[in-house]
A and B are shown apart, each in its own frame.
Chain A
Amino acid sequence: MRIFLEQMINGLTIGSFYALIALGYSMVYGVMKLINFAHGDLFALGSYLGFSLLVWGSAYVTSHVGLAGGMIAAMLIAAIGIGMAGIIVERIAYRPIYPAGRLPAVVSALGVSIFLQNAIMVAWGPRYQAYPVNVVPTVRFEIGGIHITLLQIIILILSFILLALLYYIIQKTTFGAAIRASALDRDTAALMGININTVIFFIFALGPALGGTAGVMVGMYYRQISFTMGWNYGLKAFTATILGGIGNIPGAMVGGLLLGIFEMLGSAYISTAYKDVFVFLILILVLIFRPRGLLGEKVAEKV
């Protein structure tokens, strides 16, 4: 039981990374009907940006605002930087192609992904980079016999705040309603006076910003980052998006958390080597039996 609960907490931690990344995929897919293959690499770029800030700026920042301030500053700057990168990617690579249909956009997205991945490699070098060890003091708590680290608590709290904030924006504000309306039907939403370009601008800033934050968290959690990590996390997060129902914001959150838990329980009780196989198997089974995802609504087929 103790192992089970500890694995649940580990699963929730990774799941919150997946959920944060998945939101970017889901929002973009909802409005643009485009699988943004570059999103995973934006996430990796965020991780590297956070790395540089923590390595170069940590001494200066921590001497002024303390350790926690330095960490939050790194996340914030990574989020802003990646949000801007997301907007640039949309302007250059997606907007001119959008009228030509969806398939050219997929190629363009793959092109951006290759570009970003190699840009990271050129800028930071092909070797693995190690995050500084002492960003968060390695303190372990024991609650009812379950071990949990301070870092995990911080990651869980921060990501749940972010998820809750996004949930609030999407579900409760007028602007969120505009996003949901555009996801349902772009043309009709435009006719109702919603400025689609603003919506696209917003989702391409917010999605990658969350991804960039997740990138810093992943760096702090695993302490090791590589320029190819974008593919792997991107694919997993995308799986999470499908699991929850693509284009559905709460679905992406639930899907991400569930995927993290599945992965951890799978590796704890079935086989570590096959944990990724397990993840993709779940994806395929969900698509065969419930293609709209766990929280997705049934969409009538358009003729």
Chain B
Amino acid sequence: MKLDKNIIFKNWLILIAIVLLSVAPFMMNNYWIDVFFFFGIYALLGLSLNIVLGEVGLFDLGHVAFMAIGAYTTAILNTKFGIPIIILLPVSALAAAGFAWLVCSPIIHLRGDYLCIVTIGMGEIVRLTLINNPFGITGGPNGVFGIDFPSLGNIFMIDNSTEFYFLIWIVVGLTILALINLQRSRIGRAWNCIREDEIAAESTGIDVRYYKLLAFILGAGLAGVAGNIYASKLMIVSPESFTFMESCMLFCIVLIGGMGSIPGVLIGAAAISLFPEVFRTFAQYRMLIFGAAMVIMMVFRPGGIWPRKRGAVEFKSLLLKAGRDNV
């Protein structure tokens, strides 16, 4: 009985969240719609890092590099060759995923802190390379500007805040659906197994290397999608947007919300993107408060705001079902 109540509560919560998110843009001014757009971007990035950090437990402190690859792929192909943004969405995802495969293949065997450090290095190399304008295509510190809005011929064009808002949140919604399915699949179980104990996972026949790489590639692909939408919204990409600080923020989104928990990621993204806006009246003190809040948060709730529940409940319900069938 308790179990059913929990599920009903969850369903209601999801419904309320969807309704609120879909009516929200009609009740806010453009400024707040943009704030919620960036909330959506952080949510998407948080979800993508959650695959790597939350599901598999790989410390990735350079995740923003994958977003940078996606954003720059979109920016360069769009401004140089005029390819529409919509077509570049899967292209940027593939570019980011391909980059992840290339870069992570040789480092995937590293563990814990060592992997963390290599990803920091990778993120910095990507950013510094973008600043240095290789082959004159990234525009150096100024970046690339004049990126189009997403459009499909004359049929539709996404060119105002509300439409961008819906674009990002529809993408986030679809991603969440996909990730929930992934969590329940063989792949998701293999990931969690690796997170809990890598050696045990390997000894039960899980191809650890393959699944770790898969997590990186999927996470990077999603970050590439976020990069694409980000680039077309801002119409400019520059290396300043992809600093180590941003990677740290993504890391915090996953950990503040609760590792591996999808509602947790949403809460974490809300905390990171809305907090500085709410405290805007404090002007220069707001990041000070933000830093202190992170520490206090971790002191009082080290597991995150909405930690993921282990699969014990599901297991029990399975047993019950099995029992009923037998009777």
A residues adjacent to B (C-beta < 8 A)? 29, 33, 35, 37, 92-93, 96-97, 100-101, 103-108, 110-119, 121-122, 231, 235, 238-239, 242, 246, 273-274, 276-277, 280-281, 283-284, 287-288, 291, 301, 303
Please determine whether B128 and A111 come into contact, CB atoms closer than 8 angstroms.
Answer: no
| Interface pairs (14), CB distance under 8 Å | A35-B116, A104-B255, A107-B255, A107-B297, A115-B288, A115-B295, A238-B120, A274-B128, A277-B128, A280-B125, A283-B117, A284-B121, A287-B114, A288-B118
CA distance A119 to B289 in the complex (A): 10
CA distance A238 to B113 in the complex (A): 12
Give the contact-size bracket for chain B: 35 or more
Please determine whether B125 and A277 come into contact, CB atoms closer than 8 angstroms.
Answer: yes
Which 7 pairs between the two chains have the least Cβ-Cβ distance? A111-B294, A115-B291, A100-B302, A114-B291, A104-B302, A280-B121, A111-B295
Question: Is B83 at the interface (CB under 8 A from chain A)?
Answer: no
Which candidate, B1-9, B90-98, B245-253, is the interface stretch facing chain A?
B245-253
Please determine whether B288 and A231 come into contact, CB atoms closer than 8 angstroms.
Answer: no
Nearest CB in chain B: distance from A289 CB, A: 10
Question: Is B284 at the interface (CB under 8 A from chain A)?
Answer: yes
Neighbour of A106 across the interface among B107, B251, B293, CB < 8 A: B251
CA distance A235 to B297 in the complex (A): 25
Question: Is B181 at the interface (CB under 8 A from chain A)?
Answer: no
Question: Is B110 at the interface (CB under 8 A from chain A)?
Answer: yes
Nearest CB in chain B: distance from A178 CB, A: 23
* Given A113-B291, A118-B290, A303-B199, 13 extra CB contacts under 8 A: A33-B113, A97-B299, A106-B251, A107-B255, A108-B295, A108-B299, A111-B295, A118-B284, A276-B128, A277-B132, A283-B118, A284-B125, A287-B107
Nearest CB in chain B: distance from A224 CB, A: 19
Chain B 189-232 interface 0/1 with A at a Cβ cutoff of 8 Å (1 = within) = 00000000001000000000000000000000000000000000
User: Nearest CB to that of B132 among chain A residues?
Assistant: A273
Nearest CB in chain B: distance from A273 CB, A: 5
Q: Please give, as numbers and ranges, the residues of chain A lying within 8 Å of B291 by CB-CB distance.
A: 111-118
Question: Is B237 at the interface (CB under 8 A from chain A)?
Answer: no
Q: Please give, as numbers and ranges, the residues of chain B lying within 8 Å of A121 by CB-CB distance.
A: 284
Question: Is B292 at the interface (CB under 8 A from chain A)?
Answer: yes
Neighbour of A118 across the interface among B117, B252, B256, B288, CB < 8 A: B288
Please determine whether B251 and A122 come into contact, CB atoms closer than 8 angstroms.
Answer: no
Q: Please give, as numbers and ranges, the residues of chain A lying within 8 Å of B245 by CB-CB distance.
A: 231
Neighbour of B298 across the interface among A111, A115, A119, CB < 8 A: A111
Chain B 97-121 interface 0/1 with A at a Cβ cutoff of 8 Å (1 = within) = 0000000001100100110111011
CA distance A106 to B295 in the complex (A): 10
B residues adjacent to A (C-beta < 8 A)? 106-107, 110, 113-114, 116-118, 120-122, 124-125, 128-129, 132, 199, 244-245, 248, 251-252, 255-256, 259, 284-285, 287-288, 290-295, 297-299, 302-303
Q: Please give, as numbers and ranges, the residues of chain B lying within 8 Å of A114 by CB-CB distance.
A: 287, 290-291, 294
Neighbour of B287 across the interface among A110, A118, A231, CB < 8 A: A118
Please determine whether A287 and B288 come into contact, CB atoms closer than 8 angstroms.
Answer: no
Q: Please give, as numbers and ranges, the residues of chain A lying within 8 Å of B284 by CB-CB distance.
A: 118, 121-122
Q: Please give, as numbers and ranges, the residues of chain B lying within 8 Å of A116 by CB-CB distance.
A: 291
Please determine whether B294 and A107 come into contact, CB atoms closer than 8 angstroms.
Answer: yes
Please determine whether B288 and A122 come into contact, CB atoms closer than 8 angstroms.
Answer: yes
Nearest CB in chain A: distance from B293 CB, A: 7
Beyond A107-B298, A110-B251, A121-B284, is A115–B122 a contact (Cβ under 8 Å)?
Answer: no
Please determine whether A108 and B124 come into contact, CB atoms closer than 8 angstroms.
Answer: no
CA distance A93 to B117 in the complex (A): 22
Please determine whether A291 and B290 come into contact, CB atoms closer than 8 angstroms.
Answer: no
Please determine whether A106 and B255 come into contact, CB atoms closer than 8 angstroms.
Answer: yes
Please determine whether A93 and B295 come into contact, CB atoms closer than 8 angstroms.
Answer: yes
Nearest CB in chain A: distance from B120 CB, A: 7
Q: Which of A35, A107, A121, A235 has the most CB of B within 10 A?
A: A107
Nearest CB in chain A: distance from B124 CB, A: 5
CA distance A66 to B120 in the complex (A): 44
CA distance A111 to B287 in the complex (A): 10
CA distance A115 to B284 in the complex (A): 12
User: Nearest CB to that of A293 among chain B residues?
Assistant: B114
Please determine whether B295 and A103 come into contact, CB atoms closer than 8 angstroms.
Answer: no
Q: Please give, as numbers and ranges, the residues of chain A lying within 8 Å of B121 by CB-CB distance.
A: 239, 280-281, 283-284, 287
CA distance A92 to B252 in the complex (A): 19
Neighbour of B110 across the interface among A111, A117, A287, CB < 8 A: A287
Q: Please give, as numbers and ranges, the residues of chain A lying within 8 Å of B116 by CB-CB distance.
A: 35
Nearest CB in chain B: distance from A77 CB, A: 24
Beyond A110-B248, A274-B132, is A101–B295 a contact (Cβ under 8 Å)?
Answer: no
Q: Please give, as numbers and ranges, the residues of chain A lying within 8 Å of B256 by CB-CB distance.
A: 107
User: Nearest CB to that of B61 among chain A residues?
Assistant: A106
Beyond A122-B288, A287-B114, is A112–B295 a contact (Cβ under 8 Å)?
Answer: yes
CA distance A118 to B124 in the complex (A): 22
Neighbour of B252 across the interface among A35, A96, A110, A238, CB < 8 A: A110
Q: Please give, as numbers and ranges, the residues of chain B lying within 8 Å of A92 by CB-CB distance.
A: 295
Please determine whether B113 and A35 come into contact, CB atoms closer than 8 angstroms.
Answer: yes
Q: Which of B199, B285, B291 has the most CB of A within 10 A?
A: B291
CA distance A117 to B113 in the complex (A): 24
Nearest CB in chain B: distance from A159 CB, A: 24
Please determine whether B285 and A122 come into contact, CB atoms closer than 8 angstroms.
Answer: yes
CA distance A228 to B113 in the complex (A): 24
